[in-house]
Structure 1
Amino acid sequence: MIEMLKYLKPYRVKLTFVILFSMAAILFELYLPTLMAEIVDVGIVNRDVPFILQTGALMLGCSLMAILLMVGVSYFASKVSLGFGRDMRRTMFVHTEHFSLDEYEKFGSASLITRTTNDVKVVQDVINMMQRMMTRAPLMLIGGVILAVSRDKYLSLVFLAALPVLALIIFLVARKAIPLFSALQNKTDRLTLILREALTGVRVVRAFNRGDHERKRFNAANEDFQDTGIKVGKLMAFMFPIMLIIMNFTNIAIVWFGAIRIDNGDMQVGNLLAFIQYAAMILMSLIMLSMAFIMIPRAQVSAKRLTEVLSTKPTIKDPEREDKSFPTKGIIEFKDVTFRYEGAERPVLEGITFTAKPGETTAIIGSTGAGKTTLLQLIPRFYDVESGEILIDGQNIQSFKQSTLRKQIGYVPQKATLFSGTIAENLSFGKEDASEEEMYAALRTAQAIDFVEKRDQGIHSKLEQAGVNLSGGQKQRLSIARSLVRKPKIYLFDDSFSALDYKTDRLLRHELKKETGDATMIIVAQRVNTVKDAEKIIVLNDGKIVGVGTHQKLLQENKVYQEIVASQEDGEVSA
């Protein structure tokens, strides 16, 4: 929790106002019992009506001032806590944007979403509460104790019996609550994960009639979350009645022993009334502190989860200085590249060496799990190589900033990803200042112009989240158009033609060849039809290159390629 305090530095002035206003409000509130005692012991005893009215007016003024000051406390406390929440969410978002795919896989998207929303909200609420209670309660406690002792030091001994019992209850409840709050946050992650899977995979769930199964999964996670929440609720339900009982018995003891002291002439009635008010303030401050101590453990769990993310340093880092300008040709060289995922026993790619030249199409083909997608993802540095190096025009890609490198790459992922908004807004991901002419040119090359123009608003037509109102082939063609708008030096297509029919596939590749010109193009595919016209075909098998050449050469000499062709041969593929 302490780590979170550094994010409050921009709000030091507002925090100062919170503390000053709280102190001033407490002073006014602490003065009220003294004025009430004077009304009883002086005004009523002496039947001095002017004194009663004057002192009553002073009490009213003190009350109004305390109210106004507490309104100020609430205003500034809200500004601080809400500002903290906004800044923390932004910090989390920006920090996770720099994560490599390894870090994303380590935390999981569901957990990152929960941490950025739910955990930030928990810490934000506790900061708001701490400003209101943690500044007010200690001041009220200390001031109440001092003034109570000044009224009657012997009657103050009643607190010696009550305070240790209250402290023990707070300690025991806090010790029990911390692990429960930790479990509650983890179960929130689980609930978010299941809900996200069920919503994003709704078509698959319905297609396989697995609605009942998903409901059972969700209900199990939901009930598990509920059970833990009930345990936390029981703790709260146990604590507050016990504290109220102790508070009431303390008041009974004060009245009992106070009456004896009045009867003995050691105390005045006004003093007893003031003492009861101070006792109420002291016990109320303890209840406020107990509430804070119960909420702080949950905030500590959330703060720890936020700190875990913020303290995770991206494994892929930019060089401290970028002295070189980006190459103009775009020749890609893999030199004895080996890569393995974190925790994996064996490499996914091993001893990869090849060159992809501008003006040529380099195709990569292989069976599922051969490492094709991983190889492609090494070029924009989604991952860094374990050994060997990747060069562009003879310069190691690690010598460039990630932003510089990726600006020169048009990447089309295996799974077409579109965002809610217009088609134009999605295309402008490739180039922010792209004109409509550039967008339409890209759509024509990607064979997407036909279905875009059929829409009422053309490129300004709305797309739903993830492009669910488009077919798989339409999404792939828009993804390809998005990369073409950028006009980069390097094009990377990760099985981006799999949802296209053979005719559209052929036309698209033909137009791509004309559009990309002298750019370097690497295509990953599983269909032989997609790669057979490439100038260079690389055959991957079990993470290793087992063949390089043209379609005809590989068909004659490479057994693995022959097997791939034979498995797909259906009249569309021919020697």
Structure 2
Amino acid sequence: MLKTLGAQVKEFKKASVLTPVFMILEVIMETVIPLLMASIIDDGVEKGDISHIYAVGGWMVAAAAVGLFAGVMGGKFGARASTGFARNLREAMFENIQTFSFANIDKFSTAGLVTRLTTDVTNMQNAYQMILRMCMRAPASLICAMVMAFTINVKLASIYLAAVILLGTCLFFIMNNATKYFQQAFPKYDDMNASVQENVSAIRVVKAYVREEHEISKFHRASGNIYKIFVKAERNLTYNAPLMQFTVYGCILLICWLGAKMIVGTTLTTGELMSLLAYCMNILMSLMMLSMVFVMITMSIASARRITEVLNEKSDLKNPEAPLYEVKDGSIEFRHVDFAYNKESEKPVLQDITLSIRPGETIGIIGGTGSAKTSLVNLISRLYDVTSGQLLVGGKDVKEYDMETLRNEVSVVLQKNVLFSGTILENLRWGNKEATKEECMEACRMACADEFIEKMPEGYETHITQGGSNVSGGQKQRLCIARALLKKPKILILDDSTSAVDTATDSKIRRAFKEEIPDTTKLIIAQRISSVENADRVIVMEDGRIDGFDTPQNLLETNAIYREVYESQTKGGGDFDEKAGEE
């Protein structure tokens, strides 16, 4: 874990080294000042030597100035190192997340990743700054002050030693009890962030069903859990301040009482007593700082583990040593393919899939909910790897291709359509960033998106809000299809991506595909028979297996599932889910 996190210090190593150097210099100056003060009192004030007072006073001012400079520089470099470290952590996590396969992403919740990139990184930033500054300053101050105190008077310095042992033991028990609560707190942020994310993304549904009070109470529960844990932790820490005050004032009273007797007995000077009192505050405040550092580090350990999990997670999809950078054609072949999202699953999602698709064919895929239609097409662009068997695209195993090359040639319009904030043109150019406006317009014409774009006042410069909330579901689907067409792929996969458009527009889109991109292999997942009845062949999926694969006409005669759905839909009946319900 330390090695993984330490690798992200990178260009801020110099600042990370200079910070403790300046902190130690500041401590040295703070340690020297009480000695100079003792010299002024003993050798200057009591002897009436004004020149000595001025000389030593000048050295005190110089020491204070050097200490101030060191403190400022320590703060400057510490801030630079900690904020830079936090920036590198965020960038490294985000970059690594971009390499994740779907299987890797499935291991983390969206809210959990957001918490790691925000709250957990902030905790690490604060902890790193505390380590660079306080973790060096406090022990150095404690050691220097103890050494100087024992140099002045062993008997009185022993009071400090006893106070340190007593205070250290008590602080250990306080911190130990508080630590377990802090470790429980940060995973709870995931629950709270998940509540917020779910509510905001589904705000229209919340308002439509008048569930605002339910969502508020759910957030209150998540927020209340964090509150309760922190209250328990802080309750333990409340003993810290009174214990500290008791120890400090107890030491001061003992030193003043015993020191006064020693001054009367001429075994201690007034200046030395003043120095010991100054060192008393240095020693005990160092312990206080160490206790706070310990709390901060304890809080950050849980965050460090969570960040390390993301940084150490490596994609289970990797390029081969000598990848292929060209896909010959759009042919697809499954050879006894099994697939499971979890390799330890007893039953695979896809079982013994064997089929061959020729380049340029239009293939329909139908099946009930949960029949693994989407899982089947996800393997083609290698969003997941097959568990067993072999999958070939363009006559080569998909594992032999460079993944970027393969995915550029296999364009997928996902079941859940996503648009990004920006203009329509900017969204379309996700498919091809070099595309001209004319190419974008042509893609929109094929996807029947030009019909509504040209009616908008700003046309292709119309701004799309985040998630595409200012366009309808059907408009969003057609824009996503146009975006996929701009890639000019050899294989085009439509995962139920015309479900929100009317049948007439659906028919126009399919006709445009047939006329404009005849050489592109087209896989159309659909619930409507009308979307696949003109396909060259249709795959009928049932419970992760291929129940039928033939022309629509032949399936109507030979496949009971296809025939039943065809008849129910053409007669105004139901759909796959209705059929599943009857079973």
TM range (shorter): over 0.9
Q: Which residue of 2 aligns with 1:90?
A: 91
Q: What letter matches 1:469 in structure 2?
A: N
What secondary structure, in the 3-state scheme, does the structure 2 residue paired with 1:74 have? helix
Q: Which residue of 2 aligns with 1:326?
A: 326
Residues 515-569 of structure 1: CA distance to partner in whole angstroms, max 9, x if unpaired?
A: 3231111111111111111001010111111111121111111101011112322
Aligned twin of 1:231 = 232
Match of 1:27 in 2: 28
Cα RMSD after superposing both structures:
1.6
TM-score (norm: length of structure 2): 0.95
1:295 aligns with 2:296: yes
Partner of 1:70: 71
Q: Contact 1:356 / 1:522 at 8 angstroms: preserved in 2? A: no
* Range with bigger deviation, 47-56 or 356-365: 47-56
Number of aligned residue pairs: give it.
572
Instruction: Report deviation, 1:571.
Output: 6.2
Q: Secondary structure at the match of 1:336?
A: strand
Report matched runs for 1:362-441 at 5 Å.
362-441=363-442
Instruction: State the AA in 1 paired with 2:570.
Output: E
Report the counterpart of residue 139 of structure 2 in structure 1: 138
Deviations for 1:27-57, whole angstroms, at most 9, x for unmatched residues? 2111110111111101111112232223222
CA displacement 1:120-178 (0-9 Å, x = unmatched): 11001110122121111111111111111111111111023211122112321232233
1:529–1:572 contact (8 Å) kept in structure 2:
no
Please report how far the alpha carbon of residue 241 of structure 1 lies from its aligned counterpart in structure 2 after TM superposition.
Answer: 2.4
Instruction: Report the equivalent of 2:443.
Output: 442
Q: Judge conservation of contact 1:318–1:398 (CA < 8 Å) in 2.
A: yes
1:505 and 1:130 mapped to 2: Cα distance? 62
Larger mean Cα displacement after TM superposition, 379-388 or 55-64? 55-64
Deviation at 1:344, TM superposition (A): 3.4
Aligned partner letter, 1:470: V
Aligned ranges 1:530-549 → 2 under 5 Å: 530-549=531-550
Amino acid at match of 1:239: N
| Structure 1 residues 329-358: Cα deviation after superposition (integer angstroms, max 9, x where no partner) | 121111111111215331111111112222
- AA aligned to 1:329 is D
Partner Cα distance (2:315, 2:175) in 1: 35
Q: CA deviation at 1:419?
A: 1.1
- Output the CA distance in 1 between the equivalents of 2:410 and 2:348: 26
Matched, 1:221 2:225: no
| Aligned mates of 1:403, 1:249 — CA distance in 2 | 70
- 1:246 match: 247
In structure 2, C-alpha distance between the alignment counterparts of 1:549 and 1:204, rounded to whole Å: 41
Give the match's secondary structure for 2:272.
helix
Are 1:419 and 1:467, in contact at CA under 8 Å, matched by a contact in 2?
Answer: yes
Q: Which amino acid aligns with 2:328?
A: T
Deviation (angstroms), 1:216: 1.6
Q: Secondary structure at the match of 1:317?
A: coil
CA displacement 1:39-87 (0-9 Å, x = unmatched): 1101111112232223222212221221111111111111111111111
Secondary structure at the counterpart of residue 121 of structure 1: helix
Q: Using the alignment, how far apart are the partners of 1:66 and 1:333 within structure 2?
A: 74
Residue 291 (structure 2) pairs with residue 267 (structure 1): no
Q: Distance in 2 between matches of 1:435 and 1:252?
A: 83
**Structure 1 ranges of 4+ moved more than 6 A:** none
Partner-residue secondary structure (3-state), 1:135: helix
Structure 1 equivalent of residue 200 of structure 2: 199
- Give the conservation status (yes or no) of the 8 Å contact 1:178–1:301: no
Give the structure 2 partner of residue 123 of structure 1: 124
The equivalent of 1:208 in structure 2 is: 209
Does structure 1 conserve the Cα–Cα contact (< 8 Å) formed by 2:362 and 2:522? yes
Name the stretch that deviates more: 198-207 or 562-571. Answer: 562-571
Q: CA deviation digits over 1:362-386, x for unaligned, max 9?
A: 1111111111011111111111111
CA deviation after TM superposition for structure 1 residue 510, in Å = 1.0
**Which residue of structure 2 lines up, in the alignment, with residue 558 of structure 1?**
559
The answer to whether the Cα contact below 8 Å between 1:170 and 1:293 also exists between their aligned partners in 2 is no
Q: Relative to 1, partners in 2 of residues 1:480 and 1:83: Cα closer, same or farther, differing over 3 Å?
A: same
CA distance in 2, matches of 1:551, 1:361: 12
Q: 1:499 Cα shift?
A: 0.4
Paired residue type of 1:337: V
**Alpha-carbon deviation of 1:572?**
11
Corresponding residue for residue 155 of structure 2: 154
Contact between 1:173 and 1:294, CA under 8 Å: does it hold in 2? no
CA distance in 1, matches of 2:131, 2:305: 18
Quick one: distance in 2 between partners of 1:454 and 1:237? 66
Q: Does 1:460 align with 2:447?
A: no
Aligned to 1:518: 519
Q: Which residue of 2 aligns with 1:46?
A: 47
Q: Distance in 2 between the 1:142 and 1:506 partners? A: 83
Does the CA contact (< 8 Å) of 2:491 and 2:520 recur in 1?
Answer: yes
2:430 counterpart SS class: coil
Specify the code of the residue in structure 2 equivalent to 1:564: V
Is the CA contact (8 Å cut-off) linking 1:39 and 1:51 kept in structure 2? Answer: yes
Q: How far apart are 1:326 and its partner, in Å? A: 2.0
Distance 2:475 2:281 in 1: 70
- Which consecutive unaligned segments of at least 5 residues does structure 1 have? none
Specify the code of the residue in structure 2 equivalent to 1:335: R
Q: Distance in 1 between matches of 2:573 and 2:192?
A: 47
* Corresponding residue number in structure 2 for 1:347: 348
Are the structure 2 counterparts of residues 177 and 321 from structure 1 closer, same or farther at C-alpha, using a change threshold of 3 Å?
farther
Query: Structure 1 length as normaliser, TM-score?
Result: 0.97
Distance 1:452 1:248 in 2: 77
Structure 1 residues 248 and 401: CA distance shift in structure 2, 3 A: farther
Counterpart CA distance in 1 for 2:499 and 2:437 is 28
**1:338 aligns to what?**
338
Q: How far apart in 1 are the matches of 2:173 and 2:457?
A: 66
Instruction: State the shift of 1:11 in Å.
Output: 1.9
CA contact (8 A) 2:325 2:402 kept: no
How far is the alpha carbon of 1:414 from its aligned partner?
Answer: 0.1
- Tell me by how many angstroms 1:473 deviates: 0.5
SS of residue in 2 equivalent to 1:347:
coil
Cα gap change, 1:47/1:445 in structure 2, threshold over 3 Å: closer, same or farther? Answer: same
Distance 2:312 2:37 in 1: 55
CA distance in 2, matches of 1:363, 1:86: 47
Spell out, residue by residue over 1:474-518, the C-alpha distance to the aligned partner (whole angstroms, 9 max, x if none).
Answer: 111111011011111111110000000011101111112223231
SS of 1:492 mapped into structure 2? strand
Is the deviation greater in 220-229 or in 169-178?
A: 169-178
AA at the equivalent of 2:526: A
Q: Which residue of 1 aligns with 2:2?
A: 2
Shift of 1:9: 4.1
Structure 2: gaps of 5 or more residues: 575-583
Counterpart Cα distance in 2 of 1:282 and 1:549: 85
For 1:43 and 1:71, locate their aligned partners in 2 and report how far apart those are by CA, in whole Å.
Answer: 32
- State the 1:20 CA deviation: 2.1
Cα distance change, pair 89–366 in 1 and its aligned pair in 2 (3 A):
same
SS in 1 for 2:189: helix
Q: Report the secondary structure of 1:500's partner residue.
A: coil
Q: Which amino acid aligns with 2:330?
A: G
**Deviation of 1:300 (Å):** 0.6
State whether residues 177 and 297 of structure 1, in contact with CA within 8 Å, keep that contact through their aligned partners in structure 2: no
User: Following the alignment from structure 2 to structure 1, what is the Cα–Cα distance between the partners of residues 209 and 107?
Assistant: 30
* 1:107 to 2:92 alignment: no
For residue 173 of structure 2, what is the amino acid of its counterpart? L
Q: CA offsets per residue over residues 211-263 of structure 1, 9 Å max, x none?
A: 22212211111111111111122122222221222122122222222112112
Shift of residue 450, structure 1, vs aligned partner: 2.3
How far apart are the structure 2 equivalents of 1:432 and 1:48?
A: 82
